[in-house]
Amino acid sequence: MRLRNKPWARDFMAEHPDVLLAEPEKLNNGWHTLFGNDHPIHIEVGTGMGQFIIGMALANPNVNYIGIEHFDNVIVSALEKAIEAGKPSNLRLFRANGVDLLKIFHKGEIDRVYLNFSDPWPKTRHEKRRLTHESFLKLYETVLVPGGEIHFKTDNRHLFEYSLVSMSAYGMRLKAVSLDLHAEMPEDNIMTEYEEKFSAKGQPIYRLESQYMN
């Protein structure tokens, strides 16, 4: 746990349980009950400092968003931004590792998974840590509704190629692929912190949308 730089993080997080849930594993009644509506639920695994998920929550009030990040000293920045944004009622954050998704969500509870600028883990021995590894695709499939989707953006060509192969081998349908998202720049694109950083350097941003065939 990286708490060295922000020793105040734990206390600050505990002061805002309405945004950052302390023990999401204990949400026995499910996320729709927590949000108080039946709107679709979209999650981002590896949400970082939260710019994307907060921007999405503000832009799409009829969708519920959950940002998942496994480091306290990172998610606390997302919490600060969520507070600045007025704590949108359709947004929650929590600190967890994506490998624990089944402890946090019921089967078929969510509608879409966002993966943005996921850590590339370039060494083959770390392949299982890549968020588009087969084991993660299986986890997402379990918590997603049938026909649920993954929307993925990255600057990393090797991770993108790997993810295309991994999803294809899993039997997913590729709905959209872009090798230069910013050349098209869809109006509804919400940039992440890493996306701003890499696109400012002139690096192409790769994007795909894939769907489970279950």
Does residue 69 bind ligand SAM (CB under 6 A)? yes
Does residue 163 bind ligand SAM (CB under 6 A)? no
Region binding ligand SAM by CB under 6 A among candidate stretches 25-33, 62-70, 139-147, 169-177: 62-70
Q: Residues 118 to 147: which contact ligand SAM by CB under 6 A?
A: 118-119
Of 124, 131, 70, the closest CA to residue 97 belongs to: 70
Residue 59's H or E segment, with its range, is: helix 51-59
Cα angle 8, 90, 207 (rounded to 5 degrees) comes to 90
Annotated binding residues for S-adenosyl-L-methionine: 44, 69, 97, 119
Q: Cβ 105 to ligand SAM, closest distance in Å? A: 14
Does residue 45 bind ligand SAM (CB under 6 A)? yes
Separation CA 161–CA 126 (nearest Å): 16
Separation CA 27–CA 198 (nearest Å): 37
Size of the site for ligand SAM (CB under 6 A): 20
DSSP 127-165: GGGSTTSHHHHHHHHHHEEEEEEEEEEES-HHHHHHHHH
Question: Pattern 92-111, binding to ligand SAM, x per CB under 6 A?
Answer: -----xxx------------
The yes-or-no answer on residue 119 being catalytic is: yes
Q: Which residues bind ligand SAM (CB under 6 A)?
A: 45-48, 68-71, 74, 97-99, 116-119, 192-195
